[in-house]
Amino acid sequence: MKRGFIAVMLLSACLLISGLAHAYDFSADMVMTAEGQKMSGRIFSKGDRFRMEMNAQGQQMIMITRMDKKVAWSVMPDQKMYMEMPIDPKSSPKTEIKGEMERKQLGTETVNGHPTKKYLVTYKEGTQTLQAYQWMATDINFPVKTADLNNKWVQEYKNIKMSAQSDNLFEIPAGYKKMQMPAMPGGMNAR
């Protein structure tokens, strides 16, 4: 797996949940499948702060999103380095998928022990109109699973534990050096 693919997956997942999970403190196991590749890790949330930890091919990647500071940090523990990317809070999703145009409830299901409402969501990404399924847990008001119609990509949360999270999880570890990151597609520039 390429480091760029991992970073994009982490950032996409952080942005997807950033507005959905605000006001909740929790931790969960996360499984993401895309382009035939599967990644698993942990996610931590405290209000408007998020941390995702993933291991891919023996390399640990951590993405910390701080909506209060309008930044996301990609932390590389093996190199004791991090990259910083600005986040526009106005562009982050609130209770829907970014670019959402329509949401239609299809029914109810139980996913990973949580009662959910299953939705068909139509959203715009660039010039494309796309659709995905989303299972919103009614007991915790959180999307426990999101997938495209053909299961080309799936994002799922398991073992969700609603509990207070340490502030230290959402800070750059002491002694880490900041490195520059090249400009990203879609106008996201590194700081």
CA dist 54 and 7 (Å) reads: 10
Is 29 domain-assigned? yes
Q: Which two tokens stand for residue 7?
A: 């970073």
Residue 42 domain flag: yes
In a domain, 62, yes or no: yes
Determine the Cα–Cα distance for residues 61 and 181; give it in Å rounded to an integer.
15
Statement: residue 3 has pLDDT above 50: no
145: in domain: no
Q: What is the mean pLDDT of residues 52-75?
A: 87
- pTM value is 0.73
Distance CA 147, CA 152 (A): 8
Query: What confidence score (pLDDT) does residue 13 get?
Result: 53
| Beta bridge mates, 51 | 44, 64
Comparing C-alpha atoms, which of 61, 52, 62, 41 is closest to residue 16?
52
170 assigned to some structural domain: yes
Domain region containing 39: 3-97+155-187
Which two structure tokens, joined as six digits, stand for 50?
Answer: 């998020």
Predicted confidence (pLDDT) per residue in 84-130, tens digit = 999 876 655 444 677 889 999 999 999 999 999 999 999 888 899 98
Domain count, the chain: 1
